[in-house]
Structure 1
Amino acid sequence: MENIKDWFTDNQGLLLNHLISLVTALLILWLGTKLARYLANACKNILIKKSIDAAVASFVSSLIHAVVVAAVIIAALSHVGIQTATFVAILGAAGLAIGLSLQGSLSNFASGILITIFRPFKAGDFIEAGGVAGVVKEIQIFSTVLTTPDNKYVVVPNAQVTGSPITNYSRHDIRRLDLVVGVSYEADLQKTESVLRDILSKHELVLQDKDFTVGVAALADSSVNFNVRSWVNTADYWTVFYDLNKTIKMELERNDIAIPFPQMDVHLHSEKS
């Protein structure tokens, strides 16, 4: 017992220094966790205010929180005299190994961040990306969810979306509708053009404040092809597309303008012996 008392008496200064270091380390941990939580929440609020997807904002804030907490733990351990160099090296090696094994997922995550920042499309847009065409239902951290016109649920990795051309059919309020109409070589071209222009001018969904185009585009093998181009509201595109095809055929037939189709003439020759 006396030996213990003597040891405490002889090492009071050392014990006091260790106690102060321990209290300081605990204080660093407490303040550090508070700081990590504050930074994570602040980052999340900033991202949400900038219209970044909530899932991405939450993930980024969690990542910031984890990084700050790890740095605080290393600082606290270092303050109490624990050598952290080896610990940091182990963490670095582990991080490198994890990064290499999850490089595909990290690429998808980075692509998801780019999508939410630059916003080439949003939920509800009809797009074609990554070889898939459909309506965007959700932009997730690692993938984008599309619903195809035949109601298929398709999950496309974000890296595949950003790694290919993105066509957003819903981005603008109006679109140009292009049709190719072929008539026979015997048809009256002036009359055909007049009929086509009359169809466009009378259609209620064709935008009349935008110039439409009707002109001979090609002298094909079996037909004279007209380009018929008009402007419509994006929401009316397919309605006008189907309706114009039907109306054009009916009006051309009513005006005795033939629509040719591929055919082959076979000539038989008889030879006298």
Structure 2
Amino acid sequence: MDKITNKLDTWKDIFIKNIPNIAIALVVIFIAYFASRAINTFISKTLGKKIKQESVRNLVSRVASAFIFLLGLYIAMTVLKFDDTLKAIISAAGVSGIVIGLALQGTLSNTISGVVLSFRENLNIGNWIETNGYSGQVMDINLNYLVIKEADNNTVVIPNKTILENPFKNYSLTTKMRIALECGVEYGADLERVETLTKEVINNTFNQEKLGKNVEFYFTEFGDSSINFLCRFWIESEDALERLRGKSNAIIKIKQAFDKENISIPFPMRTLEILPNQSLDIHKLTEKEVS
């Protein structure tokens, strides 16, 4: 008990003796923390006028913020006279760095990939992309992963390495998208009138002349109950949602125009012929035959 008491007294004396240093170290860490946040905001605003890519601005501001905080932490440890401890840590880091590097190979790969993605001009925050089976708006590009928000508001986190090693489609690189719309009309319809009417509806709705494009219209086949056609046109869009809205709007307008001109869009029908000497048992028909 005497040894324990003496040890505690020694620690108490050391603590009391170093109270000024501890107070200074805490102040330094406190200042470094808020300085790092201020630097982050300042660099983001300053670079915002010169660098258009938000991902690059975020990367630079985060690195600068981390550097300021680590610098403050180093000064605080120096004030507490942990110089020998720092030297020991740095010496050990050289030996253990190889082991840690091998263990964190995937993490380091994602970090390097994050730096590469941040400087890519064909990928930026706010773009609508499709990659690795997911499609959505890029919300963040950091040193470990990329975050996208899908159309259903779900958030998807994808490792940077996966993005870099696989192709992706960026809908935001162009302001124009082409929509392909397939439909069919009855066999008794005036096909020339169908083509003219469809082109007029698309031109009036989406103004192809302003986009410098033309409406493409092709009859594709004699179907079982209709003559089918393909209509392709362009819209102003930078994401897949606008493409869906454009296609939906085109379907509504074409249906309204066809109804006004008494042009039917047929659907498959089945006719059952019952001979006079045959009976029909409805209970023995399959669901498909009944429909």
Interval of TM-score (by shorter of Structure 1 and Structure 2)? 0.5 to 0.7
CA gap of 1:94–1:217, structure 2 versus 1, over 3 A, is farther
Q: CA deviation at 1:92?
A: 5.9
CA distance in 2, matches of 1:159, 1:269: 69
Deviation per residue, 1:110-141 (Å, 9 max, x gap) = 22122123233211111112222111111111
CA distance in 2, matches of 1:159, 1:253: 52
Identify the match of residue 176 of structure 2 among 174, 199, 204.
174
Partner of 2:235: 232
Letter aligned with residue 116 of structure 1: S
Partner of 1:217: 220
Partner of 1:197: 199
Partner of 1:206: 207
1:251 aligned onto 2:257: yes
TM-score for the superposition, normalised by structure 1 = 0.63
Partner of 1:133: 135
Structural mapping, 1:30-109, within 5 Å: 53-57=56-60, 94-109=96-111
Q: CA deviation at 1:173?
A: 1.3
CA distance in 2, matches of 1:152, 1:226: 36
CA distance in 2, matches of 1:190, 1:55: 56
Q: CA deviation at 1:254?
A: 1.8
Letter aligned with residue 220 of structure 1: G
Contact preservation (8 Å) 1:53, 1:139: no
CA gap of 1:189–1:145, structure 2 versus 1, over 3 A, is same
1:266 aligned onto 2:272: yes
Q: Determine helix, strand or coil for the equivalent of 1:222.
A: coil
Identify the match of residue 157 of structure 2 among 152, 155, 158.
155
CA distance in 2, matches of 1:268, 1:165: 58
CA distance in 2, matches of 1:191, 1:261: 20
CA distance in 2, matches of 1:113, 1:146: 17
Contact preservation (8 Å) 1:177, 1:232: yes
Deviates more, 1:231-240 or 1:194-203: 231-240
Partner of 1:77: none
CA gap of 1:270–1:126, structure 2 versus 1, over 3 A, is same
Segments ≥4 residues shifted beyond 6 Å: 59-63
Q: CA deviation at 1:164?
A: 2.8
Aligned length: 203
Partner of 1:34: none
CA gap of 1:250–1:60, structure 2 versus 1, over 3 A, is same
Letter aligned with residue 162 of structure 2: Q
Between the two proteins, what is the percent identity of the paired residues? 29
CA distance in 2, matches of 1:190, 1:122: 46
The structure that has the greater radius of gyration is 1
CA distance in 1, matches of 2:173, 2:164: 17
Deviation per residue, 1:9-53 (Å, 9 max, x gap) = xxxxxxxxxxxxxxxxxxxxxxxxxxxxxxxxxxx9xxx777562
CA gap of 1:270–1:91, structure 2 versus 1, over 3 A, is farther
Which runs of 5 or more residues in structure 2 are unaligned? Answer: 1-42, 71-89, 279-291
Which runs of 5 or more residues in structure 1 are unaligned? Answer: 1-43, 67-86
CA gap of 1:106–1:189, structure 2 versus 1, over 3 A, is same
CA distance in 1, matches of 2:271, 2:116: 59
